[in-house]
Structures are given as C-alpha cells and as structure tokens.
Amino acid sequence: MIHKQPVYANYAATTPALTEAVCKELRAYLMETHFNMGRNFEGLESGAIALRARRAVAGLFGVSACLRVIFTSGATAALNMAIHGLVRPGVHVLATSIEHNAVARPLEALRKAGVIDLGWLPCAPDGSLEPETVRKAIRKNTGLLVMTHASNVLGTILPATDCFKIAREYGVFTILDMAQTGGSLPYTIDDCCDIAVFAGHKGLGGLAGTGGFVLGERAVAEMRPWMAGGTGSASHSLDMPDFLPDKFEPGTQNTFGILSLAASIEEIIREGCETIREHERALTARFLAGLRGIKKAKPYGPLDAERSVAVVPVVICGHDAGDVARRLFEKHGIITRSGLHCSPLAHKTAGTFPEGAVRFSFGRGSTEAEIDTILEALDML
C-alpha cells in the first residue's frame, strides 16, 4: 500500500519535484518555443538558453566569466571529464576516504590501468578531515586532489578551502565535487579550486540529466578534452576547438534540461542560498535532536547540523537497512534510500560497511511536520 501523502526524505538522491516556476517555463517551451521553428535558425534559441544558464551558475557561485561554466549530462560525466582532463600518466592522485563512486570508480580504473598512483586521505569515522592530512599525503609526483564538498552518506562538510590552499602550495590541481552542496550550501568558487563540479537535479532543482563544472583559471590552460565530437565551431579541424565552452561541450546539448537548470537557479538566487541553508540546517538539527530520544536508532556522521548538510544516515539496531526503508515506505509513505548509497568508502569510514544504513535527507520542500512524522515512525519500529 502506498501512503497517500508521501514524505520525501531522499533529497540527496534527487529533488522530488520541480518548482511551479520551473514547470511553467518548461511547459511554455514545450508548447510554444519548441514549435517556433523560426527561432531555431542556427540554434540561436538553444544558445540563448545555455547562456542564460551559464550566467545563473556563475552568479550563484561567484564566478566572473560565465564561459567557464560547462554543461554535461550530470555530475558523473563532469567528474569523469575533469579527472581524465587533468590526469597525466604517472601522477599521484589524492582523494578522501568518503568519496562517491562517481569519483572513486574513475580513479580506481585509472589506478588499475597503471596510469596513476592513488592515495586515500583518511577521514575520521564522522567523515571529518583535518586539512593538514593533505600536506602529509602529498608526494613529489602528486598532481591532483579530488574532494567531495559534503559526503552524500554522512552529510559531513569538508574544509575544501583549507585543503585546497595546502594543495595549491605544492602546485597540486584540485577538483571539488559539489553534487551534495550546490544550491543548498553557500559557496564561492575561489582561486584555489581548479574545477568545481555540480549536479543539476539535486539542490540546484533542475531535471535529471543536467550538471556540469566550472573551470578555474589554471584549469583553463591545463585541462584537455576527454570527450570529442562536433561543436559547430572550427569545423574544418579534426581537433577540438581550444576555446570555451566549445572545448568541453561536443555534441548537441540537453537544452530542455539546461532550461530547467537556468530557471531553478535564478529562483534559488532570488530565494537566497543562505535562506535555504538555514532551513535545511534547522530541520537537520530538529531531526538529530529527535533521534536522541529513540534508543534503537543510531545515527552516523557529525551529529551536528552546523557541520553537515541535510543528510543523516541511521542504523536501526537489529534491523536490516533495506527492511527498515521498505517498512517506512509501506507503512508510513516515507521515502528514503537504504544500502551503500554508491559510496562504499564512506560506509567503511563510518563503520557501517557492508550492512549500510537508511539515509534520511532533506531539502527546500521539507517541513518540520515531516521531520516529526519520520521521528514518530522510527519510534514505532
């Protein structure tokens, strides 16, 4: 039986619904623009939509040059592109022990192929990382540091700026995976971050199949194209163009998805990323406080809403995580995500591998009443 008014607590996977403002634009595009073929001449319409979205992303993250915003099919493609674009054979790469498989799997494939050496920076069981750990791990041939901005399992916010400053001292390039923080944690991309990757369909509120990355100044010169193809520019040449954004955007873009992203980010900027962060922080604090009264529920992560995004993994003692998630859904209409959350490393770091946990994650649409419903349901388990 599916509960009539579901409680969505799986924002870390995807936003459950587009806002009305975003839907309105998409419906208009479907009904009008897409049929107005005159505006399709040489793709002017899609170019204008992409430019609007680039400006929105640049505005949200405090980037001056919007042509440094590159769109991809999502954070996974962006991370693959960033990693392969910056890696050189023989280089030593560092990443944290709480990375998502979108980082861990491409790196592990490169290590297995003998292209890179790979070192995992040890995070504490709550996911936290001491910046000086970076300095200790850097070797002569260290060339790249890849780091999540916040763990998709534990919620832990990592000290990216401090870590990247240390990396910069040693000339090490840096990639920040903002999949869990874009749109829900205010952040200005600074000079120490060479590539910042974002997912479109989570905190940024766009459709699935969107995302991308922002290039810092150093990366513009260093990064090589990973995917190649037609760009509608420099078409005489069999090489990818060397200018932005074409250098990293071969093929026909997902204009409809990019429109959803533009409309949603503009709304987030109007609403204020700080306001969204405060909303999610308060809900997380309420959830953590409530969990303290439920004996069999053992939460993981920092257990401190100031130090985490709105993500809390919970183990119910004596119960399989998958069973708990199913019962929460079937009896109470509560939607969570159980298992390993595509991040075995984070679960190993926390000590919840291989059993996993039930992850509760909240977002802009979450309410105090929903938090209370979840707490009541957990208490009844």
Q: Which residues, numbered 225-264, are part of the site for its own copies (CB under 8 A)?
A: 225, 227-232, 235-240, 250-257
Q: Tell which one of 137, 159, 344, 381 touches its own copies (CB under 8 A).
A: 344
Could you tell me which stretch among 137-145, 274-282, 283-291, 327-335 binds its own copies (CB under 8 A)? Answer: 327-335
Nearer to its own copies, 41 or 306 (CB): 41
Residues in 61-80 at the binding interface with its own copies, rule: CB under 8 A: 72-77, 79-80
**Least distance to its own copies, CB of residue 176, Å:** 16
329 contributes a contact to its own copies by CB under 8 A:
yes
109 contributes a contact to its own copies by CB under 8 A:
yes
**Least distance to its own copies, CB of residue 184, Å:** 17
**Least distance to its own copies, CB of residue 353, Å:** 7
Q: Tell which one of 54, 68, 149, 201 touches its own copies (CB under 8 A).
A: 201
**The CA-based dihedral angle spanning residues 302, 305, 306, 311, taken in that order and rounded to the nearest 10 degrees:** 70
* Total Cβ atoms within 10 A of residue 186: 15
331 contributes a contact to its own copies by CB under 8 A:
no
Nearer to its own copies, 16 or 159 (CB): 16
Nearer to its own copies, 170 or 256 (CB): 256
Of 258, 248, 220, the residue nearest 54 (C-alpha):
258
**Least distance to its own copies, CB of residue 309, Å:** 18
Q: Tell which one of 85, 106, 212, 363 touches its own copies (CB under 8 A).
A: 106
148 contributes a contact to its own copies by CB under 8 A:
no
Residues in 159-188 at the binding interface with its own copies, rule: CB under 8 A: none
Q: Tell which one of 66, 195, 305, 340 touches its own copies (CB under 8 A).
A: 340
Nearer to its own copies, 3 or 298 (CB): 3
Q: Tell which one of 189, 199, 263, 321 touches its own copies (CB under 8 A).
A: 199
How many binding residues for its own copies (CB under 8 A)? 80
The secondary structure of the chain, three-state, reads CCCCCCEECECCCCCCCCCHHHHHHHHHHHHCHHHCHHHHHHHHHHHHHHHHHHHHHHHHCCCCCHHHEEEECCHHHHHHHHHHHHCCCCCEEEEECCCCHHHHHHHHHHHHCCCCEEEEECCCCCCCCCCHHHHHHCCCCEEEEEEECECCCCCEECCHHHHHHHHHHCCCEEEEECCCCCCCCCCCCCCCCCEEEEECCCCCCCCCCCEEEEECHHHHHHCCCCCCCCCCCCCCCCCCCCCCCHHHCCCCCCHHHHHHHHHHHHHHHHHCHHHHHHHHHHHHHHHHHHHCCCCCEEECCCCCHHHECCEEEEEECCCCHHHHHHHHHHHHCEECEEECCCCHHHHHHHCCCCCCEEEEECCCCCCHHHHHHHHHHHHHC
**Least distance to its own copies, CB of residue 154, Å:** 15
Q: Tell which one of 52, 220, 353, 377 touches its own copies (CB under 8 A).
A: 353
Nearer to its own copies, 238 or 317 (CB): 238
14 contributes a contact to its own copies by CB under 8 A:
yes
151 contributes a contact to its own copies by CB under 8 A:
no
